[in-house]
Each structure stands twice: as C-alpha cells, then as structure tokens.
C-alpha cells in the first residue's frame, strides 16, 4: 500500500465506542443522552424534509448561528453570528481547527487521560503529539503551558473525559494567556457542568470553545456542533471546512434544539439527579468514583478488575466503557442513563458480589 502517506499506513485509526447491531443492550458506553430529543426538533426536521432536499443547504447555517449568538449573548460580550462556525458534529470542528493550525512536524499538545481522537488528528497531520498527564487528582500542572517553538495548538477537554472533572474558567484563562498558541476548549459536556469557558472567548482570541448537540441535546444521531471564537479566527477556520458540511435537516433540527431551552433544563435536571444517585450507589459498592461534572462517571474498584467487570456486564446486556490509558489504572466510564437503566446496572453489580 505504498500509495498512502507513511503516517496513515502506520495508524490504527480511531475506534469509536461499540454500537451494538442487534440484541437488547443497555447502552452506557458512549455518553449518549438516554432521553429522546425535544419534540420541536422532530417537527423542524419534518418541515425541512417536506420543503424538499434537492437544493444545497445553507453553507453557513445562518439560522443556527443567528439563534446561537442570541443564546450566548449574556455570556459572551459582543457575540454575533460571525463568532460561530457550525460543524458536522464537534469532531468536524476539531478536524478543521487542527488542519488550519498544525502542519507537518509541528506540535499539538493535549492531556492524558482524555479524548483519544486528538492523537488521531495529530497523526493524520503528521504532527507531533505532546501529551501532558493529569496529576492524580485531575488537576493540571505547568507543563501544559511550557514554552515550545513548534507548538501550534493545545487542546483541553473541559469537562474532561473519562474523568468528568473540570478545570475552572479562571485557570483556563491563565493557561490561555501563558500559551504561545490557541487553546481549544472542547466543551462537549459543558451543559452538565457548574461552569464553562464561553465568556473567555471575548477576552482572548486564542480561546476557541467547541460545543456539540450530541450529548446534552440528545442529538448524537444528527451530527451537529459549533465553534465559538472571535470573528477573525472564524474567518480563517471557515476556509478549511467543506462548503456544505452541515445538511439541511441537521441545521433545522439543531436550530430548533437550541430554541427549546426548557427541554434542556428539564433533561439536564433529570440527568444530574441520576448522576448523583449513580455516584453514591457506586461508592456504596466499593468503587472509587471521581465526582463528575459530565453525563458519565469514571470509577475503579480496588478489588474487582475493571476489564472483568466490563466483560461480565456486557455478557449480561449492559455496555459500559472499559478504558485503559498509558500510565493510568484502568477503569470504567459509565454513562448516566435513565433511572431504570442505572437500576439494572446496579442490580447486576450487586449480583456480582460487590458491596
């Protein structure tokens, strides 16, 4: 296969969490929202489909950007549609940002344990990945802002996965100010957290914040995310995106989704209540749980190995995510499902003799 670039041939490729084809599974492995999306989303999709799909979609997703800038008006000083770039999921935006900033042989810095896609994106660019380990308490030391001539992009998932922990905005601003390059704050889970970094975008053009509708808006199947950054940054990133990266149904559905904030508040409240209950119950079963600001809980058991638990749960029809990062004890990342799903999980764990 000598046609392919050396780094592509050497790559394993990013393996997404398992999506079981058949069988009845309780799926707590990819941090999906267990609730169906707002009914207004389905109405908007139906209307867009009925209007016809033969025309190209709006390449700049103007309707979404207009509404999103209103939604974030109180938070981001001076925001308008030109502060927003839409993507086919926030993965699309991570790709766009990496391609625009990081060339062959240049450096992308991110944390460990975190979202392993960042490594894949660097590899595709033939870039060098600089991985900064979290401290054991999931705080970040100064290595993350260490000077480096080749550094072009730093990425911080916040809240982080798999830990669900948050670096507070004051510290993120300090990090951005200390870095020589843009800082991408991947806020896929921010709607489940107590704070976020959106307001910082107005303070420093180096701060780029991405959001996804996959998790909090229950739209993983629709593929829609957006980047908030200062207009002069958005203008450059726009050059790298596919002209029609978001389809007409996704634009319509996503716009309706952010227009229904009452649905978001209600769903968030339910998920946070279940998260608290799950965390408490896991602790009672002897797990060490990291307090989470996301829609999942990272836990390890001092006696039962994580991989064996994962396998046994899978055999019993419950999928959780088993994750083993370099220089880190393996653990389970359990998505916050419905109360019924979490009850089923806990019942199984008790049956395995835990607690």
Binders of a second copy among 130-159, rule CB under 8 A? 152
Instruction: Please list the helix, strand and coil fractions of the chain in percent, rounded to the nearest 5, in that order.
Output: 40, 15, 45
DSSP 3-state of 225 = strand
Distance CA 335, CA 86 (A): 26
Selected from 62, 75, 204, 300, the binder of a second copy by CB under 8 A is: 62
Residues 232-291 that bind a second copy (CB under 8 A): 232-233, 236, 238-240, 242-250, 253
Indicate the burial class of 149 (C-beta count within 10 angstroms; 0-12, 13-18, 19 or more): exposed
Distance CA 25, CA 318 (A): 6
Q: Residue 271 or residue 346: which is nearer to a second copy going by CB?
A: 271
Is residue 330 near a second copy by the rule CB under 8 A?
Answer: no
Selected from 159, 169, 182, 331, the binder of a second copy by CB under 8 A is: 182
Q: Residues 286, 126: contact at Cβ < 8 Å?
A: no
Crossing angle (nearest 10°) for helices 339-351 and 261-284: 10
Identify the CA nearest to 107 among candidates 148, 72, 151, 141.
151
Instruction: State the minimum distance, in angstroms, from the CB of residue 35 to a second copy.
Output: 7
Residues 93-122 that bind a second copy (CB under 8 A): 95, 99-104, 117, 120
Q: Residue 205 or residue 343: which is nearer to a second copy going by CB?
A: 205
Residues 36-55 that bind a second copy (CB under 8 A): 36-37, 41-42, 45-46, 48-50, 52-55
What are the structure tokens assigned to 269, written together?
A: 């409240």
Number of residues that bind a second copy (CB under 8 A): 80
Selected from 26, 28, 34, 196, the binder of a second copy by CB under 8 A is: 34
Per-residue x/- marks for a second copy, 11-30, CB under 8 A?
xxxx-xx-x-x-----x--x
Instruction: State the minimum distance, in angstroms, from the CB of residue 46 to a second copy.
Output: 7
- H or E element at residue 273: helix 261-284
Q: Residue 199 or residue 267: which is nearer to a second copy going by CB?
A: 267
Is residue 200 near a second copy by the rule CB under 8 A?
Answer: no
């Amino acid at each position: 296969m000598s046609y392919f670039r050396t780094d592509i041939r050497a790559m394993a490729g990013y393996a997404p969490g398992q999506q079981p084809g058949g069988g009845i599974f309780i799926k707590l492995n990819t941090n999906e929202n267990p609730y169906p999306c707002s009914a207004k989303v389905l109405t908007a999709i139906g209307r867009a489909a009925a209007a016809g799909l033969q025309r190209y979609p709006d390449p700049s997703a103007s309707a979404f950007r207009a509404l999103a800038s209103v939604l974030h008006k109180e938070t981001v000083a001076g925001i308008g549609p030109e502060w927003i770039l839409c993507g086919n999921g926030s993965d699309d935006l991570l790709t766009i940002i990496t391609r625009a900033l990081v060339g062959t042989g240049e450096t992308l810095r991110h944390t460990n344990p975190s979202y392993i896609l960042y490594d894949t994106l660097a590899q595709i660019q033939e870039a060098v990945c600089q991985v900064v380990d979290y401290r054991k308490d999931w705080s970040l030391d100064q290595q993350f802002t260490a000077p480096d001539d080749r550094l072009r992009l730093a990425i911080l998932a916040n809240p982080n996965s798999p830990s669900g922990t948050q670096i507070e905005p004051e510290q993120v601003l300090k990090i951005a100010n200390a870095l020589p390059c843009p800082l991408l704050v991947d806020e896929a889970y921010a709607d489940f957290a107590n704070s976020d970094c959106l307001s910082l975008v107005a303070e420093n053009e180096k701060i780029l914040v991405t959001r996804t509708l996959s998790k909090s808006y229950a739209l993983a199947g629709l593929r829609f995310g957006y980047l908030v950054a200062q207009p002069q940054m958005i203008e450059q990133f726009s050059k790298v995106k596919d002209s029609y990266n978001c389809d007409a149904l996704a634009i319509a559905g996503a716009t309706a989704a952010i227009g229904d904030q009452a649905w978001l508040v209600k769903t968030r409240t339910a998920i946070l209540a279940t998260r608290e209950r799950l965390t408490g119950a896991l602790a009672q079963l002897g797990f060490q749980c990291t307090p989470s600001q996301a829609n999942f809980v990272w836990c390890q058991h001092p006696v039962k190995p994580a991989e064996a638990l994962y396998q046994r749960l899978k055999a019993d029809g419950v999928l959780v995510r088993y994750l083993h990062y370099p220089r880190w004890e393996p653990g389970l990342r359990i998505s916050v499902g419905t109360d019924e799903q979490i009850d089923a999980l806990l019942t199984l764990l008790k049956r395995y003799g835990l607690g």
